[in-house]
A and B are shown apart, each in its own frame.
Chain A
Amino acid sequence: MSARKLSAPQPNPETQTFWDGLGEGVLRIKTCEACGKPHYYPRHVCPHCGSDRTRWLETAGRGEIYSLSVMRRGEGAPFAVAYVVLDEGPAMLTNLVADDLDALAIGQRVRLAPQASDAEATGDGPSLPFFTPSGD
């Protein structure tokens, strides 16, 4: 990646566990004990059924590209914006890192590749859940 500014997310009581996980290289999403369905981004209340019986679910950090678009203009271009559908079910809006962005394709398998946000360099912010081709 180039000089694109990666603004630091502000963790809050609903999401602190998510950001803590990335620091350990683990991608956690939420799942619901009432309806059994997982969701992303993580919320206190389940977006599928409205229950507050949600709990954290550690994912394998793997999935496949649902769609992507490489931004060709502006600060930090080129960079690849994508939806990745996790093996656990939910889709995540993310960035893809790869030596050759033109070789990325819908359906390709990817794995979590945590990326330092700008604030992390100074110890003030969490990593970001980027993905990269996994070759499987």
Chain B
Amino acid sequence: MSLRNAACIAGAFEHPTRLAPDMTTPQLHAECAAGALADAGLSLTDVDGYFCATDAPGFGPISMIDYLGLTVRHTDSTEMGGCTYIQHVAHAAEAIAAGKCSVALIALAGRPRSEAVQRFRPGAPEAAFEQWVGLTNHTSYGMCAARHMHDFGTTSEQLAWIKVAASHHAQHNPHAMLPKVVTVEEVVNSPMIADPLHRLDCCVTTDGGGALVVVSPEIAKTLNRPVISLLGAGEATKGPSGGLGLDLTVSAAAQSGPRAFEEAGVTPADIKYASIYDSFTITVLMQLEDLGFCAKGEGGKFVADGNLISGTGKLPFNTDGGGLCNNHPMFRGGITKVIEAVRQLRGEAAPAVQVPNCDLAVATGIGGSLGARHGAATIILERQS
């Protein structure tokens, strides 16, 4: 079974909040769900499949299904960190293709700025060997960047261009948390957090969320929205797995990306717009290489000189400002990657960053800890004419 044209994204909604001290997380989930369904022209009663991950409060998918008053015949609470919601689009397409549901709701929300968030799961087999290490995301991704610099001569200035490009896009997003355009000098002169990553190499932390509605092609045709089809999808995981042959310069996207492109029958050269999970600048650089937009080790040259800036660069990326400048709700940037790709394919991105004739886009992400063990998910989306 191929997922090519198996399902369509009919609804996409990004919550405008970035700080929500007076809301509850279930409320935020519900507002995201309502927003995506309204965008699709559907309602809660149309939903027959529900997809969520561990950000959803309560017991698996069950608490929120009950809170929302849904009646579903398919659930999926697959968890793979921040890229989960990219993966959920593919899993929803699988379920739709198998006849298990026809209107799948995918939702993410959380308030890490407003309430304590449990981020580590007890009982992991690696816990006794890693808890004392102090492996924050900063040092985990920092070690990847340090090794990439060592092996390929990548520089902090090259990484900074990724943030610079994101900031050029964020200035056109009225909801962006950091809408100010920054320079390479400002990035490399910002305080060092975890060598070699500076404060401006890191994404924002935001309260917020988003939701997607994935439907069967038959239902998509009945809705008064552009038809955005899934062409291909790939997922993968990677970890030290015993510690032999460790290579921190390659991510699991080196497997998820080619799988998605093969299923879609397109190549990186065909892509008009790319949503690339940007937890840190190095996350983007490694995924660009791993998806095949450039050779391994050439990412620094690829991103330099504004090549990711819409309108002037060769590969417009994260035109909402991404996680680096716009939004990274609940430490999870997967859903906003899909949402901006849908906006671009519909022609609904901010006019200053809209890619002309944008009919083919990729959304890709990393979940977990890039320098330890992580997952990757990639989807290719096309606007049907």
Residue pair A71, B128 in contact (C-beta under 8 Å): no
Interface CB pairs A-B, < 8 A, 26 = A7-B132, A9-B128, A9-B131, A10-B128, A15-B129, A38-B244, A41-B129, A47-B241, A66-B147, A66-B248, A67-B143, A67-B144, A67-B150, A67-B248, A69-B140, A71-B134, A72-B194, A72-B195, A73-B194, A83-B143, A89-B243, A90-B243, A91-B244, A93-B240, A106-B150, A128-B132
Q: Using CB atoms, name the residue of chain B closest to A10.
A: B128
Known A91-B240, A93-B240; judge A70-B195 contact (CB<8 A): yes
Q: In A55-97, which residues have CB < 8 Å from any B CB?
A: 66-74, 76, 79, 81-83, 85, 89-95
Q: How far is the CB of A110 from chain B (nearest CB, A)?
A: 15
Q: Which 4 A/B pairs are nearest by Cβ-Cβ distance? A: A69-B142, A90-B243, A39-B242, A9-B128
Residues of B within 8 Å of A132, CB to CB, are none
Q: In A4-46, which residues have CB < 8 Å from any B CB?
A: 4, 6-12, 15, 37-41, 43, 46
Residue pair A89, B244 in contact (C-beta under 8 Å): yes
Residue pair A76, B243 in contact (C-beta under 8 Å): no
A53: Cβ under 8 A from any B Cβ = no
Residues of B at under 8 Å CB distance from A? 125-136, 138-140, 142-147, 150, 191-197, 240-244, 246, 248, 371-372
Count how many chain A residues have C-beta atoms less than 8 Å from C-beta atoms of the other chain. 43
Residue among A67, A76, A117, A128 having the largest count of chain B Cβ atoms under 10 Å:
A67
Residues of B within 8 Å of A47, CB to CB, are 241-242
Residue pair A79, B128 in contact (C-beta under 8 Å): no
Q: Classify the interface of chain A: helix, strand, loop or mixed.
A: loop
CA distance A51 to B267 in the complex (A): 40
Q: Using CB atoms, name the residue of chain B closest to A115.
A: B132
Known A9-B131, A81-B133; judge A37-B146 contact (CB<8 A): no
Residues of A at under 8 Å CB distance from B? 4, 6-12, 15, 37-41, 43, 46-48, 66-74, 76, 79, 81-83, 85, 89-95, 106, 117, 128
Q: How far is the CB of A45 from chain B (nearest CB, A)?
A: 11
Residue pair A41, B143 in contact (C-beta under 8 Å): no
Q: Using CB atoms, name the residue of chain B closest to A95.
A: B133
Residue pair B130, A93 in contact (C-beta under 8 Å): yes
Residues of A within 8 Å of B131, CB to CB, are 7, 9
Residues of A within 8 Å of B196, CB to CB, are 69
Residue pair A69, B242 in contact (C-beta under 8 Å): no
Residues of B within 8 Å of A95, CB to CB, are 132-134
Residue pair A90, B134 in contact (C-beta under 8 Å): no
CA distance A118 to B195 in the complex (A): 26
Residue pair B144, A81 in contact (C-beta under 8 Å): no
Q: Using CB atoms, name the residue of chain B closest to A30.
A: B242
